[in-house]
Amino acid sequence: MAERDSEPRVNIIRPDDEPEVEEERVPDPDMVIKHPLQNSWAMWFFKNDKSRDWKDNLRVITTFDTVEDFWGLYNHTLPASKLQSGCDYSVFKAGIQPMWEDAQNKKGGRWLINLNKTQRQTHLDDFWLETLLCLIGEGFDEHSEEICGATVNIRNKGDKLGLWTRDAQKTEATKKIGIKLKESLSVPPKIVIGFQAHSDTAGKAGSTVKNRFTV
């Protein structure tokens, strides 16, 4: 092994050799160019508290209408997989509440994906993000106007991811939305996802509700 120099090395800088320091420029917020989304969206949070009315457990976190604001929100909120059981995230078009009773939801329904506890750690966050990107990016093509929003429900028995649509009677549009969702999430063909109309699910337990469509 080579011996180290017995004397320490000293970098000598002459007075006229002042090192260059690159200043970090902080952009003026008013000068930052943001990319607007086609629609404005609201993110909601629900935490189940049986001592309170259901509606009182639901609140808006914030609204956003640009790509940059979406990522700022997504990167600073707790991942869905880390939420406590009984909690929900919802992202809906501005002006639509994440409840069946809303005028723009009551005639519609939802595509529903059920996940077990293992999938909470392996698939849930990816599925939720891809669903959100389809929402804000108008990823359902000519049927994007039929989209109301999406929810993720964290439950002890298994989590649920739902994509809510406006009109359950529009069979062709509803089926194409389901196919696109399944493709975007890379759900294996052998796994079937179903569509349930809100009018069928109101007042019924989830296991007793029949799917109107499957893909």
Q: How does pLDDT run across 119-153, given as a tens digit for each residue? A: 999 999 999 999 999 999 999 999 999 999 999 99
Overall average pLDDT of the 57-72 stretch: 97
DSSP 17: -
Separation between Cα atoms, residue 42 and residue 13, nearest integer Å: 57
**pLDDT: is 54 or 158 the higher one?**
158
pTM beyond 0.95, yes or no: no
Q: What is the pLDDT of residue 26?
A: 56
Residue 206: pLDDT over 90: no
Pure H helices in the chain: 67-74, 117-119, 125-136, 171-184, 198-201
- Window from 18-22, 27-31, 83-87, 168-172 with minimum mean pLDDT: 18-22
Tell whether the model's pLDDT for residue 11 goes beyond 80.
no
pLDDT in tens, 19-54: 444 445 656 666 679 999 999 999 999 999 888 898
Please, where are the H alpha helices in 12-151?
A: 67-74, 117-119, 125-136
In order of their start, the domains of the chain are 34-214 (3.30.760.10)
